[in-house]
Structure 1
Amino acid sequence: MTQSAVLPEVSVETPPRPARRSWQRWALLAVGLLAALTLPWVIYPPVAMDIACWALFAVALDILLGYTGLLSFGHAAYWGGSAYVTGLVALNVGVPFPLAVLAGALAAMLLALPVGYLSVRRSGIYFAMVTLAFAQMIFFLANQWDEVTGGENGLQSVPTSFFGIEAVETDSFFFYYAALPIIVAGVWFAWRIVHSPFGRVLVSIRDNAPRARALGYDVEKYKVAAFVLSAGLAGLAGGLFAISHGFVSLQEVNWTTSGKVVLITVLGGIGTLWGGIVGAAIIIVLEDQMASSGFEGIGIITGTVFVVVVLLFRRGVWGSVLHLLARRRE
């Protein structure tokens, strides 16, 4: 099976004319920041925090999926692994939550290093299955090592310590604004990765790995680096998710979490970064609205939305918007 049979059409952002590029980028950034700042005023703050965490998770996966051409079905290992480490650090050390989240992200990167080294030797569906297998090993470990992880009960009462500032520690509204700079920093770091010379090499590897290798690039090392960086950002999101909810469960390392972030990324548009943010907003709000109404078949609806988008809008929501705008400029 070829890689094109596994991945939907990739729509990597192509920069417009240099005269327009700067103001369009700044305008888009301003709109994005304004939306992030006003989000908890529009919807329930914990839901807003969920959107921010899943958005960063999808952006992290897009570095691997959209820009390197590697479909990982095991990213829950880094989201959930970081969530457990963050929870344990917060419970046992009592440091402010940004430090606990940073510890979780570093742990996710350390975990991803050997997994990535072994996985990148395969491509296409084989790479996806290898990452899934490693992720299921992490799930089994979290389930069995109940002295540390709590097993099926998970980690309960994870504290939201923040330099003794009571408003942040007790109110989800203020916690959102304390955590938002971490999310923004993570998205900015992802943007710097894909718009750097390193990111250009990743795109060349995605498009034609043998040619990149012939030009002298160590393809496997670049893939491992992309894998580890992606896992670190996923861990950053997973740690914040754990602090926001105050507990960590086996759901965070389950394969369904990996599937959900793939759905969000493809729905928004792979190879765009912004697509992950749009996809996260759509899926999380949709799930929240259906759960609030008592509807139990949430997976049926989100799966249907995914199928419709893949069949009719192969570039995803944001990717289709970019394509239409590019056609209008022609």
Structure 2
Amino acid sequence: MSATATSAVSLQRRARLLWLIVLAVLLAAPFIGLYPVLMMKALCFAIFACAFNLLLGFTGLLSFGHAAFMGSAAYATGWLVRSAGWSPELGLVAGTAIAALIGLLVGLIAIRRQGIYFAMITLAMAQMVYFVCLQAPFTGGEDGLQGVPRGHLFGVVPLGHDIAMYFLVLAIFVGVFLGVIRIVHSPYGQVLKAIRENEPRAVSLGYDVDKYKLLAFVLSTAIAGLAGALKTLVLGFATLSDVHWSLSGEVVLMTLLGGMGTFAGPVLGAFTIIGLQNFLADRVGSWVTVIIGAIFVVCVVAFRRGFVGELLAWQQRRRNAA
């Protein structure tokens, strides 16, 4: 085996070991003093960031309206569980399906455009969803949906206990994370990366790039919807902030801060942003957005690939030097 292959195998082993350590920390989090609700919120946003990274990092499509899919699923799940009496698992499935359906409708309109035009169409459609959530009678308007019960998972496991709910959220996060890795490493994922790198060449090879991009968009919106549905069950409410355009900006920040096009980057970015918001909220008030914006500027200037991207680039330079 060559030195390069040996180095690659060693790197993969270290990466697996690191992920096992991270998983062990997440499993032990409620028992070592970490607030379960905060951890669940961070995991929900990590799922959201993974969904966005699948679209931007591995397909090259920038959406400015992803909050619409997270928020619409949040409202749908909240109403179905609270008002229609659905079980939490059915509420999660329904919220995910509704987000995927809205994503399909938006994608059919936007996917034939590229660059800033695609981004602006997604933003415009997201603003339409925001207006519906503001005006529709079942959403609660500016008050939002309040008092959403967690219920019992499959009629057996009481999710009202934070520990039980935490392990459900963690299990879904792990499933989503492994699913995204499987998608990216599949032949379909390789085509997505080819489209990201050189779309005209992918077209010349005979791929129907619009269909590939549409499927990626729908998958991304479905995962974003799952994140929103989970968040509603965790916190017990859905508000207009879940569909506001600023949330779409936050997920862009999470992805770029951690490292676009990496698996760990969006997760690290989500935990960083949610942790900073929670830590700074009581200390600086509304200045928290200014501080996070400054951090983003520093990251773009000094760490253009994000935290994880810069680390991987540094490791690559070491291997090349060796």
TM bracket, shorter-chain basis:
over 0.9
Paired residues of 1:55 and 1:277 also in contact (CA < 8 A) = yes
Q: What residue in structure 1 maps to residue 180 of structure 2?
A: 190
Total equivalences in the alignment:
314
Q: What residue in structure 2 maps to residue 216 of structure 1?
A: 206
Give matches, 1:278-293, under 5 Å.
278-293=268-283
| Counterpart residue identity of residue 98, structure 1 | E
Paired residues of 1:90 and 1:97 also in contact (CA < 8 A) = yes
Measured against aligned partners, the alpha-carbon deviations of 1:59-106 in whole angstroms (never above 9, x if no partner) come to 100011011101100000110011011111111333332321121011
Paired residues of 1:94 and 1:161 also in contact (CA < 8 A) = no
| Counterpart residue identity of residue 288, structure 1 | N
Distance 2:162 2:282 in 1: 19
Q: What residue in structure 2 maps to residue 324 of structure 1?
A: 314
Displacement of 1:38 in angstroms is 2.7
**Residues 1:43 and 2:34 aligned together:** yes
Instruction: Specify which of 220, 228, 248 is matched with residue 230 of structure 1.
Output: 220
**Residues 1:120 and 2:106 aligned together:** no
| Counterpart residue identity of residue 293, structure 1 | R
Distance 2:109 2:25 in 1: 40
Give matches, 1:1-330, under 5 Å.
19-20=9-10, 22-40=12-30, 41-145=32-136, 147-163=137-153, 168-169=159-160, 171-293=161-283, 295-330=285-320
Displacement of 1:42 in angstroms is 4.0
TM-score, normalised with respect to structure 2? 0.93
Distance 1:225 1:106 in 2: 14
Displacement of 1:196 in angstroms is 0.7
Measured against aligned partners, the alpha-carbon deviations of 1:115-153 in whole angstroms (never above 9, x if no partner) come to 1111111111111111000000000011011x2111111
Q: Percent identity?
A: 45
Give the alignment's Cα RMSD to 1 decimal.
1.7
Displacement of 1:46 in angstroms is 1.1
Displacement of 1:160 in angstroms is 0.2
Paired residues of 1:82 and 1:105 also in contact (CA < 8 A) = yes
SS of the residue aligned with 2:206?
A: coil
Distance 1:256 1:99 in 2: 29
Distance 1:283 1:268 in 2: 10
| Counterpart residue identity of residue 175, structure 1 | M
Paired residues of 2:7 and 2:319 also in contact (CA < 8 A) = no
| Counterpart residue identity of residue 153, structure 1 | D
| Counterpart residue identity of residue 204, structure 1 | A
Paired residues of 2:144 and 2:240 also in contact (CA < 8 A) = yes
Paired residues of 2:111 and 2:214 also in contact (CA < 8 A) = yes
Distance 1:30 1:230 in 2: 26
Distance 2:22 2:101 in 1: 31
